[in-house]
Amino acid sequence: MVSLLFNCATKLNQNPLLMKTRSKVVEVVLFEVNPGYSNTEAEKALSSLNDVLKLYYGFIERTTAKNGDGKYIDIVYWSDMKSAKDAATDIMKNDIATSAFSIIKPESVQMHHFDTFNQFEE
Q: What CATH number does residue 55 fall under?
A: 3.30.70.100
User: Structurally, how many domains does the chain consist of?
Assistant: 1
Structural domain contains residue 107: yes
Give the model's confidence band at 84: pLDDT under 50 very low, under 70 low, under 90 confident, else very high: very high
How distant, in Å, are the alpha carbons of 17, 25, 28, 34, 98 from that of 22? 9, 9, 17, 34, 29
Range of the domain at 56: 22-115
Contact 23, 77 (CB under 8 A): yes
Structural domain contains residue 6: no
Q: What is the pTM of this model?
A: 0.80
Structural domain contains residue 43: yes
Structural domain contains residue 39: yes
Contact 113, 81 (CB under 8 A): yes
Q: Across residues 105-115, what is the average pLDDT?
A: 97
Q: What is the pLDDT of residue 23?
A: 83
Structural domain contains residue 54: yes
Q: Across residues 43-69, what is the average pLDDT?
A: 96
